Every structure is written in C-alpha cells, then in structure tokens.
Chain A
Amino acid sequence: MTAVSSPRQREILMSVTLVATVACIVLAAWEFVVWKFDFPKALLPTPRQCWNAAVLERLALFRATLSTGFAAFSGLLVAVVVGYGLAAVFSQSRSLRLALFPYVILLQTVPIVAIAPLLIVWSGYTFRTVLIVTAIVCLFPIVNSVTGGLLSTQQDTNDLFRLYGAGRWKRLLHLQIPSSVNHLMLGVKTSSGLAVIGAIVAEFFVGNSTSYDGLGTLMTGWANLLKTDALVSAVFASAMLGILLFGTVHLISNVFLRRWTQFATTTS
C-alpha cells in the first residue's frame, strides 16, 4: 500500500472507490438478472458477452468512435464560433436581442429529429449534414450563456470605461469578452454532452456506412442484425466519448483559460 498523504489525494481515492463500487454492484446485478430470468442474448446479453463483443468489434468501434468524436468536436467548434458571434451581436444591441433571441429559442425547441430529414434534403447524406445537426443542438446553451456573460459587467467597471472614453469596440475587447470567457466555458461544457447526442442522431439519419460510418451508423446496423451485445458496447463507447469531450473542455478551461475562468467569479 502506498501512503496517501494530502486530503485532496484521499478525496480522489475515495470518490474513485465509490464509483467503482457502484459499477461492480450494477454489473453483478445485471449478470444476475440475465441468469435468473434466462433472457436470450438478443434481448439482454450479459456484461461479459458485451465485453466480448466489444473486443471482437474493436476496430469498427474504434473507427466509429473516432469519426463520431470528430463530428461532435467539429460541430461543437462551429457552435462556439457561430454562438459567440450571435451573442456578441446580441450584447451590442438591445433591439436586435429582443428581435432575434426568440428565434434562437425556437431553434432550440424544434426537435432535432424533425429538422434532420429536412437537412438531408438540403445538404444530402454528407458529413456536412452531421456537422450542421450537431452545431444546431449545441448552439443554444452557448448563445444563452455568452450573451449573459457579455452583459454581466459591473456598474463600477462600466463607469471606469466610460470615464476614459472607451468606445464600443474597446469595451468589448477589454471588458466584455474577457469577462464572458467563464460563461462561455460553462455553455460549452453543457453543449459537449449534447454534441455527442447530436452527432449520433444525425448519423442515424444520414445512415449508410458508404459515405460515413460513425457510432450512430454502427448502432442502427447492429440493431437490425439483433447484435444486442455489440449494440450495448457501442452505447458505452458513446458515453465514454461524451465524458472525454467534457473532460477536454474542462481541461482547456482550467489550464489554458485559467486567467479568465478562475477569478471571474470573485470580481473585486
């Protein structure tokens, strides 16, 4: 046994132990339920069968995770650029904000599964369609969060900028953008989970692996073949992809953008 020294290390060890315990219990219960009720493999495979399927299909799974990951990441990136641009416009004009913000909400409330077929008509069975669907799903949390961030400057600081005759542009550059970074990263974290969902849903529609083989494509294929064990392994792969994307965003936020994210809440 290695000596656990700092309280932080102890805390990490404790949470890892707890999470692992829950996983063990769930897996054991799952194995037990399948054995007890004697479910056929096509209906509910055991964890071990799923693991074996994952090992068997590892190449297809790995490739699909990579392509879906790439789609989710690119879509998220597009959403950040477009969303930040929209938020910047909204922060500059109250009337534009009032006029356009409801439509951004509308875009959020229309189910993506309803828009996807339409997008296929316009954009075809291409990677571009997947990208657009993902970006639309990711857009709202970012626009909403960043608009709030750009507008949440303090009265004193506003006065200070006015006192030195700072125009719209300098205010945006030196005050609003730096103070919005924290809000941006919060929005991107929310959207990082949605990005994987968006990409997979898009792949369900864009479908056949001739033009694109992501996790969504694999899943529909395996579902049709009743390869339930492989299907479950794909579900886990997509969950891990979401965690990976979230972790990456978290890392970027805490390491590279530390100056703006760590202290932004304690403005003084």
Chain B
Amino acid sequence: MAGLETPTAGTVTMDPPVKGDAGGIAFVFQQPSLLPWRTALQNVVLPLDLIGKGSPVSRREIASDLLETVGLKEAATHFPSQLSGGMKMRVSIARALVTDPHVLLLDEPFAALDDMLRNQLGQLLLEIWERRRLTVVMVTHNIAESVLLSQRIAVMREGALASVLENPLPRPRTEDIRTTVEFGDFYGQVSHALRGE
C-alpha cells in the first residue's frame, strides 16, 4: 500500500485517491528507524526535508508542534541514543505525521514495547486519529490492541484475507473498556476468526 513493493496480484484502491506526490502516505516501522546523528526534532523534520516542502523555519515549526503532540517537547534536542524505546517510537510516529498524510500505515509498531508503553501509545494513536481523522491501517498480532483501537478488523490467515469484522464498540474508548462484556464478546469473535472457526 505504501508503494514500496509491487503487488503479486490484485489492486489497491484508495478513496479518495491519494495524490501522486510523496507524503500522502506515511509509514511507521516495527523499529523506530531514527537517524542517530539527527536530534529528535531533526528526525521529525526529515520527511519535509526530503520532499522539500516549505521553508526550513516552517518545517521546524510543524515538527515542533508534532513533538508536543506526542509529549516530547522537552526532548527535542536529544539524540535517539538518549531516548528510551517508547520515546523513540513516539518520535517515529511524529515523523510519520509531519507531512500531514491521508493514510497512515503501521507495521506492528508497538511489538517490541512492554504492555504499559503499548497501552500508552495506543491511546496516543486514538487521540491523534480523533483529532486528525486520517485513515490508519495497522498490522498487529495483538488481538486486544486491534479490538481497542480499530473500526474494522481484517483478519489474515495463511497469507490471505480470512474475514472482515466491523468493530461494534462505542467511542471514545479508554482503557476501562477492556473490562466490559462487549469488549470480551468481540475479542472472542476476532479470536475465532483468527483460528478459522
């Protein structure tokens, strides 16, 4: 979907279609993938530098705002080696958002983090989604995470699409929703679909 690979079969349709110029689609990798010689702020600025959008000053302003959004205003001048795993992931998310993309792709972004951080960053993602209303496609192996965050879940099994489930849970969702009956029911459904029952 990011255009990094050529599909072996089928097509990718986006509605509304994403414009051809770079920055419409953003990607968050499993690893933070920050450049170690750039500070947190400079890492967030990078996509704008690469696209060549705006003046250097305006780029820094946009990046600075985004660092504030992800709660890292104080760490702007820190280098990645001075940041914790969770903070690096936040910088990585801020970097993905800096081009104001229509589509945000996340490939198991929190897989390497512990549960506490995973939940924190999940909530952060929900906040960003509610404020910006962009399309987010997230790949995860964690059922609870998918149930908590999603609108719709596409279950993949053996490399093929198995089923698509609409998420009935109301919004806004907080951590408390994990203890409700609805959460448990839908968790069961996804779990069944994953096992092919």
**Chain A contact residues, CB within 8 Å of chain B:** 154, 156-157, 159-166, 170, 174-175, 178-179, 181, 259-260, 262-264, 266-268
Contact = CB atoms under 8 A, between A and B. Distances in A.
Given A174-B49, A262-B81, A264-B37, 17 more contacts: A156-B30, A156-B33, A160-B27, A160-B46, A161-B50, A163-B27, A164-B99, A165-B21, A165-B22, A170-B50, A179-B35, A179-B37, A259-B79, A263-B36, A263-B80, A268-B80, A268-B88
Interface residues of B, number: 28
A178 B49 CA distance: 15
B187 interface: no
B36 A159 contact: no
Q: What secondary structure prevails in chain A residues at the interface with B?
A: helix
A153 to B, nearest CB: 10
B50 A174 contact: yes
B23 interface: yes
B4 A268 contact: no
Given A263-B79, A263-B80, A166 B33 contact: no
18 contacts: A154-B33, A156-B31, A159-B27, A160-B29, A160-B46, A163-B26, A164-B99, A165-B51, A170-B50, A174-B35, A174-B49, A174-B50, A178-B37, A262-B81, A263-B36, A264-B37, A268-B33, A268-B80
A13 to B, nearest CB: 29
B40 interface: no
B47 A164 contact: yes
Interface string B103-133: 0000000000000000000000000000000
B50 A260 contact: no
A164 to B, nearest CB: 4
Most interface-central of A154, A164, A170, A264 (chain B CB within 10 A): A164
B62 to A, nearest CB: 15
Given A159-B29, A163-B22, A174 B46 contact: yes
9 closest A-B pairs (Cβ-Cβ)?
A165-B22, A263-B36, A156-B33, A164-B50, A166-B50, A156-B29, A263-B81, A164-B22, A260-B37
A166 B31 CA distance: 20
Contacts of A174: 35, 46, 49-50
A252 B126 CA distance: 46
Interface in B65-103: 79-81, 88, 99
Nearest to A154: B33
B25 A259 contact: no
A264 B2 contact: no
Interface of B: 2-4, 21-23, 25-27, 29-37, 46-47, 49-51, 79-81, 88, 99
Contacts of B34: 268
Contacts of A181: 37
Given A164-B47, A165-B50, A267 B36 contact: yes
Given A174-B46, A263-B81, A164 B23 contact: yes
Contact of B37 (A161, A163, A263): A263
Contacts of B47: 164
Given A162-B4, A165-B22, A264 B49 contact: no
B80 A259 contact: no
Given A163-B4, A174-B49, A266 B81 contact: yes
Contacts of A154: 33
A157 B27 contact: no
Nearest to B48: A164
Contact of A163 (B2, B30, B35, B79): B2
A45 B35 CA distance: 57
B31 A268 contact: yes
B119 to A, nearest CB: 22
Nearest to B82: A263
Contacts of A259: 37, 79
A268 B34 CA distance: 6
Nearest to A266: B81
Contacts of B3: 163
Contacts of B88: 268
A178 B80 CA distance: 15
Contacts of B50: 161, 164-166, 170, 174
